[in-house]
Amino acid sequence: MIDEDGRFVKYRRTDIIAVRRLEESFMHDAAYGLLFRAGQAVGSRIARNARPYKQQYFEAARRMLIDEGWVRDIQFQDDLVTAAASIETEKGAARNSCHMLRGIVAKVYEGYFGKLMNCAESECESTGRPRCVLKVSFQNNGDRTRKANGNNAMQ
């Protein structure tokens, strides 16, 4: 779906990494929450556009994420999501880096289940793992602060 004025932009992986590094340089770990929230904005759009496909909801979301270049591949398997070549990966990084993807995935699941979701990245290609692995869970009432901050940790 194209916005009403028909425009869109493309980011390169180097652009996304540069933005993340800039945000980290003055916000430190708080940057991860901001990136998570940016991902949620994208994820809301993807969920909205996948909703009409009902029975193929997750396949529709998968196709959009691949077609838009967020990942080369992504598999939604119950509460476990595996992604290959996320646009956010940076080889040799010391930490997981797919904060926007976590936000996107959380919103895709929220769009399907109609409940607030947590999403944590347990493995990341940036740290030398073969793929990114994200774990999705329903958010407990006590998790509101964690969700708002986009924290990687989950209970």
Structure tokens, 78: 């119950």
How confident is the model at residue 110, as a pLDDT?
97
Tell me the per-residue pLDDT of 8-53, one tens digit each, with 9 for 90 and over.
Answer: 778 888 998 999 989 989 898 899 999 999 999 999 999 999 999 9
Tell me the per-residue pLDDT of 61-111, one tens digit each, with 9 for 90 and over.
Answer: 999 999 999 999 999 999 999 999 999 999 999 999 999 999 999 999 999
Strand ordering across the sheet containing 73-77? 73-77, 80-84, 132-138, 117-123
Nearest to 81, CA basis, from 50, 52, 102, 112: 102
Calpha distance 135→129 (Å, rounded): 15
Structure tokens, 11: 């980011």
For residue 7, pLDDT beyond 80 = no
Query: In whole numbers, what is the pLDDT of the chain averaged over residues?
Result: 89
* pTM of this structure: 0.85
Return the higher-pLDDT residue of 153 and 15: 15
Tally: H helices and E strands in the chain: 5, 4
Q: How far is CA 47 from CA 1, 58, 127, in A?
A: 12, 9, 29
Domains of the chain and any CATH numbers: 13-149 (3.30.1380.20)
